[in-house]
Amino acid sequence: MASVLNQPFFQDEDAAYAKLESFVWPNGAVCPHCGCTDRMRKMNGTATRPGLYKCYACRKQSRVTIGTVFESSHVKLHVWLQAVYLICSSKKGISSNQLARTLGVTVKTGWFMSHRIREAMASSTGLPPMGGEGQVVEIDETFIGQKTDMSKQRGYAHKHAVLTLVERGGTSRSFHVDGTKASDLLPIIKANVDPKTHIMTDEAGQYSSVLDQKFAAYATKHDGLLLLMPPPPDEDLQCNELLVQDTSLKKHFAGHDFVQHGKGEYVRGEVHSNTVEGLYSVFKRGTKGCTSTAPRSTCTATWRSSTSVAGTQSSWAWTTRSGLRRHCAGLWASG
């Protein structure tokens, strides 16, 4: 069996453009400048760059890469396609350094390519909300890495927080969030989940409020939510010892159930958050696959960006998991 990377579009620039055109222009070339479809002509001169078209309506030249993540790059398109294949087929991730070594490009170029490709995996804005009537969306957060301005300590305060929404049997979305307060999470949840959806979470305070009248007034003041909230100063109760019951997300969605991990409860019939936990399993293995350990970057902006794209990639991989093998082994290998 020949190597997948022996496919012509991974080796030859003209074949790479033909392959990309088959994806982007399935019904024929489209001018990115004027939208014309019937007056695009391919330029075939010996000195002409591969994939160049001229529109005889607006007289401008263009290539299929305009408007894609491959635009304005000096890297050959067939090398880009190799990078796409390597990133998409590496379930546990591939680091920019590894990509650079494999493709024979500089580390800087490898980083640039991997970030552009991962950005392409991001959900575009304006997507319809997840879930709906009869649907279940699981919500959870995880913590990775280390903030540059904080030293290691107990708990998660020094780590970066990622919020993930997973629709059972459907898609997922991940968000790098500033914190895990209800005020950080609820706007994202409300913007991305249909109100008719049934929500499932763990017992984290931001999703549930305490069934204690003493706490109800406090919860109401905070939009019905409590977040990792210590008891009011005059209380000596511990949150994890209280009987907690949702009165918060239920206000915004059709229903909300949760399991209490603190009491060793992980599944109660249909009630669990194991789907989103499974996504995090892939996410964290992907992080380790790229970096061995989640690094403490010297550049906050870089690390924040890296955290975002890593979350994006894991969500993309999860959302497309059923098609991933077909995508890699079939679509690409079929030529």
By CB under 5 A, name the binding residues for Zn ion: 31, 33-34, 36, 55, 57-58
What is the b/e burial string over 122-150, where b = at least 16 CB atoms within 10 angstroms of the residue's CB?
beeeeeebbbbeebbbbbbbbebbbbeee
Which C-beta is closer to Zn ion: that of 41 or that of 268? 41
Distance in Å, CB of 27 to Zn ion, minimum = 16
What is the helix (H) or strand (E) element at residue 207, kind and residue range?
A: none
Distance in Å, CB of 55 to Zn ion, minimum = 3
Q: Tokens for 151? A: 């030293």
Distance in Å, CB of 32 to Zn ion, minimum = 8
Longest dimension (CA), the chain: 82
Which one, of 131, 245, 265, lies nearest residue 199 by Cα? 131
Q: C-alpha angle with apex 127: 282 to 131, nearest 5 degrees? A: 65
Are 140 and 277 a contacting pair, CB within 8 Å?
yes
Nearest-angstrom CA–CA distance, 303 and 159: 11
Looking at residue 130, what DSSP letter applies? B
Are 118 and 309 a contacting pair, CB within 8 Å?
yes
Which C-beta is closer to Zn ion: that of 33 or that of 196? 33
Distance in Å, CB of 42 to Zn ion, minimum = 14
Are 256 and 209 a contacting pair, CB within 8 Å?
no
Which C-beta is closer to Zn ion: that of 31 or that of 310? 31
Distance in Å, CB of 38 to Zn ion, minimum = 11
Distance in Å, CB of 25 to Zn ion, minimum = 14
Q: Tokens for 156? A: 């998660």
Q: Tokens for 208? A: 């549930």
CA–CA distance from 28 to each of 82, 181, 236, 320 (Å)?
24, 49, 70, 27
Which C-beta is closer to Zn ion: that of 58 or that of 211? 58
Nearest-angstrom CA–CA distance, 65 and 52: 10
Which C-beta is closer to Zn ion: that of 18 or that of 34? 34
Which one, of 79, 181, 175, 189, lies nearest residue 130 by Cα? 189
At residue 30, what are phi and psi to the nearest 5 degrees? -125, 130
Which C-beta is closer to Zn ion: that of 36 or that of 328? 36
Which C-beta is closer to Zn ion: that of 33 or that of 261? 33
Mapped onto helix, strand or coil, the DSSP state of residue 265 is: coil
Distance in Å, CB of 39 to Zn ion, minimum = 7
Which C-beta is closer to Zn ion: that of 4 or that of 57? 57
Distance in Å, CB of 17 to Zn ion, minimum = 18
